[in-house]
Chain A
Amino acid sequence: MGDDNSYDIRTILTQMREEYWQALAEEESEAKEMLECLVFTLGGKRYAFETHYACEVIRVPKLVRVPAVQSLIRGIFNLRGEITAAIDIRPMLGVPQPEIGATGRILVVRAENFATGILVEAAHGVQGLCFDCFEPVAAGSGVKAQFIRGHFNLEEGSVILLDMEALLAAPELVAGDA
């Protein structure tokens, strides 16, 4: 089980190729300064977060209500054998809560310890959002801004960027006593 220091042409070639592609990718993102985001609707407004938080987007399955837990946990569902919670984060953002209808989706995201499903009114797919039109949230703009990083001013309207780091670490997402 000693260290393998032998000369392996394939490993080196793979490495070179990876470096090449990485350099290309960096060039591209630097040129446009785009943030790749998943865009969706909450409370009638458009929101977004970086794609790397998302695992998948699914239609809303049957949700089984969980007794004696906070109301933002709307239920659980079966995600390929894993019991997963569906959460309604709209109260946390202080936005209106229209009924989630046929366009409703669940965005499955990974928090540090668990995967959870965020209920949204509609999902609009992945978009590259330009940093040039980004406006960070103004300091002291209230409690409801704690999960918001800012917004993008786009031609078709504004898109609010969520602070997923803060949102997924929020204690109100977790049910039960420690």
Chain B
Amino acid sequence: MANRYLEIFCREAEEHLASLQSGLLVLEKNPARTDLLHELLRNAHTLKGSARMVGLADISAITHTMEEQLKGMERGERTVDAQAIDLLLRGADAVAVITAALMRGTAPELDVERFVAEYERGELGQHLKAESKEAQPEALADTVRADVKTLDHLVNLVGELIINKKRLEAKLERLKEIGHALPAEHAAPLTTFRGELEEDVLYLDYLIQELHGKAMGLRMLPLRTISDGLERLVRDLAQQLGREVQFQIVGQAIEMDRVLLEGLKPILIHLLTNSLSHGIEAPDARAAAGKPRRGTVLLSARHQGNSVLVEVRDDGRGMDPAGIKAAALARRVIDAREADLLTDEEALYLTFRPGFSTAEIVTDVSGRGVGMDVVKKNIERVKGSVTLSSEPGSYTQITLQLPLTLSVLDALIVACGGETFAIPTTYLQEIVKVRASEIDTLGSGEVIKVRGATTQLYSLPGMLGLPERREAGNATLSAVVLKHCDQRIACVVEAHLGYSEVVVKGLGKQFRNVRFLFGATILGDGNPALILNVPDLFESGRGIQRAPLSAEEAQAAQRRLKVLVVDDSITTRTMEQSILVSQGYAVVTAVSGEDALEKSAGEQFDLVISDVEMPGINGFELTRALRDSERYQETPIIIVSSLSRDEDKRQALQAGAQAYIVKGAFDQGLLLETVQMLIG
């Protein structure tokens, strides 16, 4: 664009057009609100003045006509009705078309001269398409415009900061280990230094969190920025289809990442189009069914935890499971056997399968060659999930669950096939311990019960085509239960390594849509980890099997592994007990060495965990005593103690313990890791 004043004008016009558009739509719903006219007049008037300044006679003429019409309304000489509003909207559209063409430096797709002439005479003029534009809310005086690229770059830099902080935290851990290996006189100053450093890192962490929040905030835009265009869409569609529709939007102020919002818009357009063309019945049909002639379409958004729920609900004819099943059968999306097994709820989700579309007639509205399967794909692309609910004859509700942002995710880190993967927690239901005895065979697959529900069990490395490491005797398996739409599957992993906030990085252009992967992140050790695209796992789930359990494994898994926890402190006892129980171990506690000896004589434990300093015999003596008895010669013993001297460790090992955990360094992961290493 040659003239920079033109550019400024176009920007200004965009804002005025957006407020004109939203104001007019409100006015249409509430014709009594003549107070809005004043603001609309101001918009039209300013546009007219600016257009004249830069020598745009056409825009000036159109906005002049709009101004006259609005004045007439204000004076009460013109009625505020749908037709009058329509005329004004068409004027605004024409101005949008002309400015958009100016910005591109091309000729507008509109016979401007003819339009202006017809418009002045009050004729509706040509049918024109509204240019899609991102309506911006009116900017406040003390805001600045920032380049979106700069914002994205800022967020990326903050991501790098987070990764760097993680590396610092990993280094702190190393420092701790180094300290343990040093003689006491050298260890003490190091421990003090480490403590101080830890505080610094903690403060850095806090600052990064704040910075991250602020940086993300800059990229957030309210739903309103896309919903204004939607009101117009619903209104025009309803007219075109001969429907009477009341469109309500709740939660316009809910903010989401700009990138997500852009992804959401086509999805909402699709869902609203569906609601109007397939959902809401014609007024007469509604009246005959005893419903109000005017249908309601509700678009609502609200926060739920770390995600946003967006719902599109209409009180139309609903979805008919039987009809959907029949259509799916006819289109060979499913076979008869599969159809029989489907519940009504499951049948609704058939609409997401590729090749499914129930519209009897292909209209120019919905017959665009794409169906709900595309909607589902788009939602998966923005890491969302979709649920359907419906009551035939009464309503259809589509709920989208979307993350607030795509640049940082909460994820569970798991080890699998020798690699580390991150699973976004939005797809995670829970972590379970599975023993071979709990695995049943159903058809050709394996299933387990998760909270009473039969759930398919797969091996994650098997699904991903990675080598599987299944040691004999390792009877308890870790599995993650994943959810997507209405489905649940359980995937066996080697171990879970805790939750972490991960910064999402793209895989670069060398990787296009790679199956199973959403992106990568960089862990504290500087190595990358891949982020799994969970919906792909559900798709590939069918057909892939876990390596079957060996007879030995099956036998070893026949009973729950029993652990004896010995500690005089009730806190430590309870803590250890709850950690172990949550992982599926049977736990018995003892309050002293003597108590432990008594209990261990009564039943056989697979593992003993003991404190050192206790009233009566201490942990070392207990270990020696157990080793002397025939039943406990081979049983693994872990010493957990606040004594961190090498001398104590040596004594523990001499007494016959397999592992020594210092309470100072005590964490859930370390204890479980040690237990699993010793008994699985």
Contacts and interface: CB of A to CB of B under 8 A. Distances in A.
B511 A68 contact: no
Contacts of B510: 73, 85, 111, 113-114, 116, 173-175
Given A67-B417, A174-B509, A174-B512, 13 more contacts: A64-B530, A65-B418, A67-B465, A76-B528, A77-B528, A78-B526, A81-B163, A81-B505, A81-B522, A83-B508, A84-B508, A115-B508, A177-B512
B202 to A, nearest CB: 24
B528 to A, nearest CB: 5
Interface residues of B, number: 29
A78 B508 contact: no
Interface string A104-146: 0000000101111000000000000000000000000000000
A76 B512 contact: no
Contacts of A64: 419-420, 520, 527-530
Given A66-B517, A68-B516, A176-B513, A114 B527 contact: no
A67 B529 contact: no
Nearest to A111: B510
Interface in A39-77: 61-62, 64-69, 73, 76-77
A30 interface: no
Interface string B512-549: 11111100101000111110000000000000000000
A84 B520 CA distance: 10
Contacts of A83: 505-508, 520, 522, 528
Nearest to B532: A67
B160 interface: yes
Contact of A175 (B420, B464, B506, B512): B512
Interface string B453-483: 0000000000011100000000000000000
A76 B507 contact: yes
Interface string B267-302: 000000000000000000000000000000000000
Interface of A: 61-62, 64-69, 73, 76-78, 81-85, 111, 113-116, 173-178
Nearest to A80: B160
7 contacts: A64-B520, A67-B464, A67-B515, A81-B160, A84-B508, A111-B510, A176-B514
A67 B508 contact: no
Nearest to A116: B510
A111 B160 CA distance: 25
Contacts of B509: 113-114, 174
Q: 7 tightest CB-CB pairs across the interface, nearest first?
A: A67-B464, A176-B512, A176-B514, A113-B509, A114-B509, A114-B510, A83-B520
Contacts of A177: 512-513
A85 B508 CA distance: 9
A20 B599 CA distance: 93
Nearest to A87: B510
Nearest to A83: B520
Nearest to B511: A175
Contact of A78 (B419, B517, B528): B528
B498 to A, nearest CB: 18
B466 A67 contact: yes
Contacts, number: 87
Nearest to A61: B527
Contacts of B420: 64
B515 A114 contact: no
A78 B527 contact: yes
B513 A66 contact: no
B516 A85 contact: no
B515 A68 contact: yes
Contacts of A67: 417, 464-466, 515-517, 530
A108 to B, nearest CB: 12
Task: Output the residue of A69, A78, A177 with the most chain B CB within 10 A.
Answer: A78
A68 B520 contact: no
A173 B509 CA distance: 11
Given A68-B515, A76-B520, A81-B160, A62 B527 contact: yes
A84 B509 CA distance: 10
Nearest to B522: A78
B449 to A, nearest CB: 28
Contact of B466 (A65, A116, A174): A65
Interface string B412-423: 000001111000
A66 B529 contact: no
B160 A68 contact: no
A73 B510 CA distance: 10
A81 B417 CA distance: 24
Contacts of A62: 527
A54 B515 CA distance: 30
A73 B530 CA distance: 14
Contacts of B511: 66, 69, 85, 174-176
B468 to A, nearest CB: 13
A113 to B, nearest CB: 4
Nearest to A62: B527
A47 B507 CA distance: 28
A133 B252 CA distance: 72
A65 B415 CA distance: 13
Task: Output the residue of A62, A65, A84, A111 with the most chain B CB within 10 A.
Answer: A65
Contacts of A114: 508-510
B515 A176 contact: yes
A177 B513 CA distance: 5
Contacts of B513: 176-178
Nearest to A65: B419
Contacts of B529: 64
Contacts of A174: 509-512
A112 to B, nearest CB: 9
A175 B514 contact: yes
B2 to A, nearest CB: 12
Contacts of B526: 78
Contacts of A116: 510
Contact of A66 (B163, B512, B530): B530
A176 B511 CA distance: 6
Contacts of A65: 417-419, 466
Nearest to A1: B4
B284 to A, nearest CB: 47
A67 B509 CA distance: 17
A14 B94 CA distance: 53
Nearest to A112: B509
B373 to A, nearest CB: 16
Contacts of A113: 509-510
Task: Output the residue of B417, B465, B517, B522 with the most chain A CB within 10 A.
Answer: B517
A178 B509 CA distance: 11
A103 B516 CA distance: 33
Task: Output the residue of A62, A67, A116 with the most chain B CB within 10 A.
Answer: A67
A116 B512 CA distance: 14
